[in-house]
């Protein structure tokens, strides 16, 4: 339907309230404009574009690779929204067109490496220094690789990413070839406001590295394609460098507001639309998309996706005795009893732990008696032999008691020509 220079598709007409539909049709009839018919889908891809999926109106939404390299991409949605599926779709569609480097913190993309015969860099076998060397060679030879960090703790993951991505950025100019850096769960490596359990220096270094990737990386041919559960979890220094966004299902108020603002929607539209998106549905916004903003459903993937929830399978019926045998509960009970003393020691504050160890020493009782004799004599002392006579114990026991006191700095022992002498240590006269 056309009104002068204004056109309306059949889909747009159907979205109008009934009264407005009747008015539009009446105006069209009066002006001699043809009634709209279902739009013909144009599946001809633009130059350098990859097929992401279908829009609400049945048209293919394409992602321009060159504009992606210039503007980077952030995919955001709550758990289960389809972020990993979307990254997988992008990697599959761009394979063979641009160098691909995948950083996988959860072990979800191994099937891509197997399908396309990528080498897998195992974070458990390569320390940060080795990863930095590997990154230099990846850029030099334009190799597509997958960095698997799934078996590392969070702090070590951050250190590995800092070394690897930092070396990609620092590659010499002759190796500045276009490359797409895909990072799932990017908020783990660049958390907002210093969140996380890693040391402050580790967090700051990782965040700065991801920020550099999204800013300085562009001139070096590096295009960050990041995914995160919540924009609020990701450092603003990272998200502020992104020009292209794909926003999926959001349920929290703060996330809806941030996401709506990101794609240029007002808050009311965000609250109406974003919580209603289905898994795999995203709102695309940015210069890299053929339609923007546009709501689309991501297309299918070829490689096995393991990010989804496992299917419901009924557990085997096992009686209590059989289950206890499988758990080997007797061995676990024995191990727990053996560890009990270790756990109790660990729960005691360090200062009290030292006192407890002191009390448990075999010479503790004699040390107490020796201390009671020496303290009134301070700052003078007494000969070791005289102490043995006074306490009516042999010299060996006195020496053991003094050695214990000396290990805690409680006494000072001197070797004189006539024999050994001892006195209370300085500052121990209270």
pLDDT of 183 higher than 90: yes
Same structural domain for residues 223 and 258? yes
In three-state secondary structure terms, 383 is strand
Higher per-residue pLDDT: 214 or 19? 214
What is the domain range of residue 357? 342-424
Q: Lowest-pLDDT range, 12-21, 133-142, 176-185, 404-413?
A: 12-21
Q: Are residues 83 and 227 in the same domain?
A: yes
Q: Are 49 and 290 in contact (CB under 8 A)?
A: yes
Judged against a pLDDT cut of 60, whether residue 182 lies above it is answered with yes
pLDDT reported for residue 293: 78
* E-only strand ranges, 161-256: 179-183, 222-228, 244-247
* Highest mean predicted confidence (pLDDT) among 263-272, 306-315, 408-417, 419-428: 263-272
Same-domain check for residues 223 and 129: yes
Residue 5's pLDDT is what? Answer: 40
195 and 81 within one domain: yes
pLDDT above 80 for 180? yes
Strand ranges inside 89-218, DSSP E? 99-104, 120-122, 145-148, 179-183
Q: What is the pLDDT of residue 81?
A: 87
**pLDDT recorded at residue 207:** 92
Averaged pLDDT for residues 251-258: 87
Identify the CATH number of the domain in which residue 104 sits: 3.40.50.300
Q: What is the pLDDT of residues 338-355, one digit of tens each?
A: 666 655 655 666 666 677
On whether residue 397 sits in a domain, the answer given is yes
- Share above pLDDT 70 across residues of the chain, in percent, rounded to a whole number: 80
Same domain, 151 and 291: yes
In this structure, the answer to whether residues 267 and 354 fall within a common structural domain is no
Note whether residue 76 is domain-resident: yes
Mean pLDDT value across the chain? 82
* Confidence check: pLDDT of 134 > 90: yes
Q: Do 75 and 166 share a domain, yes or no?
A: yes
Beta bridge partners of 145: 101
* Domain co-membership, 243 together with 119: yes
Classify residue 347: in a domain, yes or no.
yes
| Residues 285 and 360 placed together within one structural domain of the fold | no
Is beta strand 6-7 parallel, antiparallel or unpaired with respect to 145-148?
A: unpaired
* pLDDT number for residue 2: 44
Which H, E and C letters describe the chain, residue by residue?
CEECCEECCHHHHHHCCHHHHHHHHHHHHHHCCCCCCCCCCCCCCCCCEEEEEEECCCCEEEEEHHHHHHHCEEEECCCCCCHHHHHHHHHHHHCCCCEEEEEECCCCCHHHHHHHCCCEEECCCCCHHHHHHHHHHHHHHCCCEEEECCCCCHHHHHHHHHHHHHHHHCCCHHHCCCEEEEECCHHHCCEHHHCCCCCHHHHHHHHHHHHHHHHHHHHHCEEEEEEECCHHHECHHHHCCCCEEEECCCCCHHHHHHHHHHCCCCHHHHHHHHHHCCCCEEEEECCCECCCCEEEEECCCCCCCCCCCCCCCCCCCCCHHHHHHHHCHHHHHHHHHHHHHHHHHHHCCHHHHHHHHHHHCCCHHHHHHHHHHHHHHCCCEEEHHHHHHHHCCCHHHHHHHHHHHHHCCCEEEEEECCEEEEEECCCCCC
β-partners of residue 424 are 411
Average pLDDT of the residues in 314-324: 77
**What is the predicted pLDDT for the residue at 337?**
74
Does some domain include residue 143? yes
| pLDDT-derived band at 3, boundaries 50, 70, 90 | very low
Starting at the earlier edge strand, list the strands of the sheet with 419-424. Answer: 381-383, 419-424, 411-416
Domain shared by 285 and 355, yes or no:
no
Residue 44 included in any domain: no
How far is Cα 289 from Cα 251, in angstroms, rounded to an integer? 25
| Residue 394 within any structural domain of the chain | yes
What was the pLDDT predicted at 416? 65
Q: What's the total number of domains in the chain?
A: 3
Tell me the C-alpha distance between 232 and 253, whole Å: 11
Whether 271 is in a domain gets the answer yes
Q: Using the 3D structure, point to which of 232, 263, 298 is the last residue of a domain.
A: 298
Q: Is the pLDDT of residue 35 over 60?
A: no
Give the CATH number for residue 347: 1.10.10.10
Residue at 117 is within a domain? yes
Give the model's pLDDT for residue 349.
67
- Do residue 63 and residue 160 come from a single domain? yes
Q: Are 187 and 290 within one domain?
A: yes
């Amino acid at each position: 339907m056309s009104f002068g220079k204004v056109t309306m598709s059949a889909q747009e007409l159907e979205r109008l309230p009934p009264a407005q539909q009747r008015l539009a049709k009446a105006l069209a009839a009066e002006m001699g404009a043809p009634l709209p018919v279902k739009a013909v889908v144009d599946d001809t891809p633009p130059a350098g574009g990859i097929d992401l999926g279908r829009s609400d109106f049945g048209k293919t939404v394409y992602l321009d690779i060159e504009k992606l390299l210039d503007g980077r991409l952030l995919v955001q949605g709550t758990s289960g929204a389809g972020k990993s599926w979307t990254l997988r779709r992008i990697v599959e569609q761009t394979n063979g067109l641009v160098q691909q480097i995948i950083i996988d913190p959860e072990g979800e993309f191994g099937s891509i490496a197997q399908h396309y015969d990528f080498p897998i860099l195992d974070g458990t076998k390569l320390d940060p220094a080795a990863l930095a060397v590997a990154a230099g060679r990846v850029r030099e030879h334009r190799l597509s690789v997958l960095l698997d960090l799934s078996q590392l703790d969070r702090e070590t993951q951050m250190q590995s990413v800092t070394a690897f991505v930092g070396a990609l950025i620092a590659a010499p100019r002759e190796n500045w070839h276009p490359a797409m850096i895909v990072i799932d769960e990017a908020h783990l490596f660049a958390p907002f406001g210093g969140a996380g359990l890693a040391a402050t220096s580790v967090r700051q270094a990782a965040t700065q590295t991801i920020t550099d990737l999204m800013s300085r990386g562009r001139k070096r041919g590096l295009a960050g394609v990041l995914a995160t559960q919540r924009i609020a979890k990701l450092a603003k220094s990272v998200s502020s460098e992104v020009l292209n966004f794909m926003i999926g299902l959001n349920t929290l108020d703060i996330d809806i507001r941030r996401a709506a603002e990101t794609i240029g929607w007002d808050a009311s539209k965000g609250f109406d639309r974003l919580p209603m998106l289905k898994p795999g549905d995203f709102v695309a916004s940015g210069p890299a998309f053929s339609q923007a903003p546009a709501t689309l459903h991501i297309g299918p993937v070829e490689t096995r996706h393991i990010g989804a929830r496992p299917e419901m399978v009924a557990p085997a019926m096992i009686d209590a005795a059989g289950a206890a045998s499988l758990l080997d509960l007797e061995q676990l009970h024995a191990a727990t009893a053996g560890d009990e003393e270790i756990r109790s020691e660990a729960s005691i504050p360090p200062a009290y732990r030292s006192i407890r160890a002191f009390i448990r020493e075999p010479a503790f009782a004699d040390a107490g008696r020796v201390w009671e004799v020496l303290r009134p004599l301070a700052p003078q002392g007494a000969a070791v032999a005289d102490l043995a006579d006074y306490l009516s114990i042999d010299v060996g026991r006195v020496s053991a008691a003094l050695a214990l006191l000396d290990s805690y700095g409680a006494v000072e022992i001197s070797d004189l020509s006539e024999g050994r002498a001892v006195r209370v240590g300085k500052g121990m006269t209270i």
